[in-house]
Structure 1
Amino acid sequence: MAFQIDGFDVDRFVRETLAEDLGQGLPGGGRDVTSESVIPADARFSGVMDTRDAIHVAGLPVAAAFFRALDPQMTVEILVDEGAQVGAGTDLMRLEGNARAMLTAERSALNTVQHLSGIATMVADYVRAMANPDCTLLDTRKTIPGLRHLEKYAVRMGGGANHRMGLWDAAMIKDNHVLVAGSVAAAVRRAVDAGVADIICEVDRIDQIEPALDAGATRLLLDNMEPETLREAVALVAGRVPTEASGGINLDTIAAKAAMGVDYVSVGRLTQSAPAADIGLDFTPL
Structure 2
Amino acid sequence: MSLTPLSPLLLEPLVRAALLEDLGRAGDITTDAIVPAGLRATCVLAARQPGVVAGLDLAALAFRLVDPATEMRVAREDGGAVAPGAIIASVTGPGRGLLTAERTALNFLCHLSGIASATAAIVAAVGDQKARIVCTRKTTPGLRAVEKYAVRAGGGANHRFGLDDAVLIKDNHIAIAGSVKAAIERARAAVGHLVKIEVEVDRLDQLEEALGIGIDAVLLDNMSVETLRQAVSMVAGRAVTEASGRVTAASAPEIAATGVDLISIGWLTHSAPALDIGLDWQA
1:104 to 100, 105, 110: 100
- Asked if 2 retains the 8 angstrom alpha-carbon contact of 1:50 and 1:91, the reply is yes
Residue 271 in 1 paired to residue 269 in 2? Answer: yes
Q: CA RMSD in A?
A: 1.5
1:190 matched to which residue of 2? 186
2:80 matched to which residue of 1? 84
1:18 matched to which residue of 2? 19
Shift of 1:217: 2.0
2:215 to 214, 217, 220: 217
1:64 matched to which residue of 2? 60
> 1:41 & 1:54 partners in 2: Cα distance?
36
Q: How does 1:30-41 map to 2 (within 5 A)?
A: 30-41=26-37
Question: Partner of 1:48: helix, strand, or coil?
Answer: strand
> 1:233 & 1:186 partners in 2: Cα distance?
21
Amino-acid identity (%):
48
> 2:95 & 2:105 partners in 1: Cα distance?
15
2:43 to 43, 47, 54: 47
Equivalent position amino acid for 1:111 in 2: N
The alpha-carbon distance between structure 1 residues 130 and 8, as it changes in their structure 2 partners (threshold 3 A), is farther
Shift of 1:215: 3.0
Shift of 1:41: 1.6
- Asked if 2 retains the 8 angstrom alpha-carbon contact of 1:63 and 1:112, the reply is yes
Equivalent position amino acid for 1:239 in 2: G
TM-score (norm 2): 0.94
Structure 2's unaligned 5+ residue stretches are none
- Asked if 2 retains the 8 angstrom alpha-carbon contact of 1:142 and 1:272, the reply is yes
> 1:131 & 1:11 partners in 2: Cα distance?
36
> 1:118 & 1:281 partners in 2: Cα distance?
16
Moved over 3 A (4+): none
Q: Deviations over 1:16-72 (max 9, x none)?
A: 11011111xxxxx14111111222221212111100111111011210111111221
2:149 matched to which residue of 1? 153
Shift of 1:161: 0.3
Residue 261 in 1 paired to residue 259 in 2? Answer: yes
2:242 matched to which residue of 1? 244
Shift of 1:214: 3.0
Equivalent position amino acid for 1:148 in 2: R
> 2:30 & 2:147 partners in 1: Cα distance?
31
Shift of 1:7: 9.8
Shift of 1:6: 5.9
2:10 matched to which residue of 1? 9
Question: Partner of 2:176: helix, strand, or coil?
Answer: helix
The alpha-carbon distance between structure 1 residues 222 and 87, as it changes in their structure 2 partners (threshold 3 A), is same
- Asked if 2 retains the 8 angstrom alpha-carbon contact of 1:129 and 1:255, the reply is yes
- Asked if 2 retains the 8 angstrom alpha-carbon contact of 1:58 and 1:117, the reply is yes
Question: Partner of 2:174: helix, strand, or coil?
Answer: helix
Q: Deviations over 1:81-116 (max 9, x none)?
A: 110112111001111111111111000001111001
Residue 139 in 1 paired to residue 128 in 2? Answer: no
2:198 to 197, 200, 217: 200
Equivalent pairs counted in the alignment come to 278
- Asked if 2 retains the 8 angstrom alpha-carbon contact of 1:192 and 1:216, the reply is no
TM-score (norm 1): 0.93
- Asked if 2 retains the 8 angstrom alpha-carbon contact of 1:70 and 1:105, the reply is yes
1:26 matched to which residue of 2? none
> 1:210 & 1:6 partners in 2: Cα distance?
43
Equivalent position amino acid for 1:175 in 2: D
- Asked if 1 retains the 8 angstrom alpha-carbon contact of 2:126 and 2:252, the reply is yes
- Asked if 1 retains the 8 angstrom alpha-carbon contact of 2:129 and 2:257, the reply is no
> 2:157 & 2:216 partners in 1: Cα distance?
18
Structure 1's unaligned 5+ residue stretches are 24-28
1:121 matched to which residue of 2? 117
Question: Partner of 1:45: helix, strand, or coil?
Answer: strand
Question: Partner of 1:9: helix, strand, or coil?
Answer: helix
The alpha-carbon distance between structure 1 residues 170 and 158, as it changes in their structure 2 partners (threshold 3 A), is same
